[in-house]
Amino acid sequence: MNILAFDLANFSSSLALMKQGEIVFSEHNKEFRGQDVTLLPKLQKVLADHDLTFQELDRLVTTRGPGSFTGIRVALATAQGLSLSVEKPALGIDSFLWVFKTYPKEFSSSQLVLVLLESLRLELYGQLFTVEGEVVDAPFSLSPEDIAKNSTYKEALCIGNGASHMKEYGFQLNPFMPQATHLAEFAATIPENELEHYPCLPLYVRDADTSKAKTLK
């Protein structure tokens, strides 16, 4: 299976190419600005360097949030546009599910897993799962202090790029954050008859905020 995967939602840029079921290219860059200009040429170059065209892809996959509003919009618009152009399916994977599905399960014996994602604000994005993958509650945007007040959350293993903010509250942590290689590998496992469950539509947990960010330390 040939899959082109990219993530711009999590305040970095990550890109991977799977060719005939094997990851042949991966790149992670902490600089995520300017992707509206650089993403498409980068995708074209990666495919050309590996003797593939967009028409030869089986799937395109990206993350749909929550996270960077600009990154989400650029990634989804690119995936949707390419999908229409070459008539290949484009999948949008929400970041909570992506992190949960790909974290190393041997890290904890906890029966609950709390995915926490950075927002570059005073709040974290979060969602609680059982270790078997059942969604326990709806996605939320809360400060670390408010998360720490929830006794159920305190029982969970915290994962994701926002997990480290809970260290001072005594939470069990595994600050694992997947990259686009994990996204491609996850997309490859989705059966054809379930692709419709992964729409290229944004997942926002809060409204867009154009004010200057107040970040967590």
CATH number at residue 138: 3.30.420.40
Specify whether 119 is located in the same domain as 153. Answer: yes
d(CA 111, CA 28): 31
pLDDT above 80: residue 31: no
pLDDT in tens, 186-214: 999 999 999 999 999 999 998 655 444 45
pLDDT in tens, 72-127: 999 999 999 999 999 999 999 999 999 999 998 876 778 999 999 999 999 999 99
Specify whether 66 is located in the same domain as 157. Answer: no
Specify whether 24 is located in the same domain as 121. Answer: no
Domain that holds residue 144: 104-174
Specify whether 21 is located in the same domain as 46. Answer: yes
Specify whether 90 is located in the same domain as 182. Answer: yes
Specify whether 74 is located in the same domain as 158. Answer: no
pLDDT in tens, 149-180: 999 999 999 999 999 999 999 999 998 999 99
Specify whether 124 is located in the same domain as 20. Answer: no
212 falls within a domain: no
DSSP string, 95-110: HHHHHHHHS-GGG---
Structure tokens at 61: 């996959």
206 falls within a domain: no
Q: Could you tell me where the DSSP H helices lie in the chain?
A: 35-49, 69-86, 95-102, 144-148, 151-154, 180-188
pLDDT above 60: residue 63: yes
Q: How many domains does the chain have?
A: 2
Specify whether 188 is located in the same domain as 91. Answer: yes
Which residue, among 9, 5, 20, 113, has the nearest Cα to 64 in the 3D structure? 9
Q: Give, in order, the Cα–Cα distances in Å from 193 to each of 33, 189, 196.
A: 35, 12, 7
Specify whether 185 is located in the same domain as 134. Answer: no
